[in-house]
Structures are given as C-alpha cells and as structure tokens.
Amino acid sequence: MCLAEEDCKKYLQRKEQPVQVPAVDSSIPKTLEMSGLTTRDDPYGNTPELFDAFICYCQKDIQFVQEMIRELEQTEFKLKLCVFDRDVLPGSCVWSITSQLIEKRCRKMVVVISDDYLESNACDFQTKFALSLSPGARQKRLIPVKYKTMKNAFPSILRFITVCDYTNPCTKKWFWTRLAKSLLLP
C-alpha cells in the first residue's frame, strides 16, 4: 500500500464528520447587515426593494441619468431604476452594496458609456461584476448605452454586446422605446 493510501485510510477509519458544509452558497451574509440599503427598504429587512435595472454611470453623466429617469420611470414604461446617488443609503461599503444590488435586487444593468465612464473605478467594477453574472451575455443582463460621442475607443469588454446608441440621429426617436423594451424582457 502506498503512503497516500495509508494517510487516507487513517482518515476514513475515523467516525468524524467532514468540516465542510453540504452546499456552496453566496459569499453575501444572510444577516440584517444587507437590509436597509435603499431609501425604500423595510428597515428590518423583511421586504427589500427590487428594481428593473441598476444604472451604472459616472458622476459627470448625471444629467443623462436624470433624463433616463424621466423617460423610463415617469412615462408609460413605469420602470423602477436603481440610481446609486438617489436610492442608496449612506454608511455602508460601496463595493458590498453595489454587488448586492446588481446580483440580488436588479434584473438588469444599464451601463452609461462615455469617456468619463472609462476613467471610473466604480464603473469598471460594476460592469465586470455584472458581466461575471452572465458570461457571454446569455441572459441579456447588461445593456450598454452610448449617449455621447467619444474620443476614446468603446470598451473592448463590451464589444460583443449590442449597444443602445443615443448618438445616432437616425434611430434617436426609437431610443427610449428600445431601451425600455429591453429592460422589460424577463
């Protein structure tokens, strides 16, 4: 008998239970720590606020995000968007909150692409996190929106996902309807 078999035999003969748990679970704790993230959350965590889409944007693009709110929430579409600066309560770790919202509370994510977006560490994290939840965009979970002409190249990480282009004058009149319908898909 080889040395490895002898070592294994010693452990198999013991009647101890294995240390690991029977199932692999999310790394997000199931405690009240993640409750009370948004302005309309139940403070006791019983009914967390859910959204149609998380809006990934940089601060310099807030005016476009405000237009998006008017066009998608305050019209016949009646979508519910998660806009970090408006909806998230202060006092928690930014990375934990955004990952919880993107993974557990938002069905989709809209990425507002601009030159400023390319320089934002928060946008980079949020985009990569959302892509990791839907490799190859199989679930149509991430929707890139190009809203102004860019000097820099479009992010290569998003090159394989169809874009909703606000800069194209030929399709601008259909822009909000197309974006809303893609967010309304299951």
Q: DSSP for 95-163?
A: HHHHHHIIIIIEEEEEEEE-TTGGG-HHHHHHHHHHHHHSGGGTT--EEEEE-S--SSPPPGGGTTS--
The predicted-structure confidence for 25-82, as pLDDT tens digits, reads as follows: 555 444 454 567 888 877 776 788 899 999 999 999 999 999 999 999 999 999 999 9
State the pLDDT at residue 110.
Answer: 98
**CA–CA separation, 21 and 18 (whole Å):** 8
State the pLDDT at residue 40.
Answer: 81
Q: How many CB atoms lie within 10 A of CB 102?
A: 25
Closest CA to 58 of 117, 144, 115: 117
The predicted-structure confidence for 94-140, as pLDDT tens digits, reads as follows: 999 999 999 999 999 999 999 999 999 999 999 999 998 877 556 67
State the pLDDT at residue 36.
Answer: 73
| H helix or E strand, kind and range, residue 8 | helix 3-13
Q: What are the extents of the domains in the chain? A: 51-184
Distance of CA 143 to the CA centre of its chain: 11
State the pLDDT at residue 35.
Answer: 65
Closest CA to 56 of 115, 136, 120: 120
Q: How far is CA 76 from CA 70, 73, 135, 181, in A?
A: 11, 8, 32, 12
Q: Which fold has domain 51-184?
A: Rossmann fold (3.40.50)
The predicted-structure confidence for 142-165, as pLDDT tens digits, reads as follows: 999 999 999 999 999 898 899 999
Looking at every residue in the chain, the average pLDDT score rounds to 85
State the pLDDT at residue 122.
Answer: 95
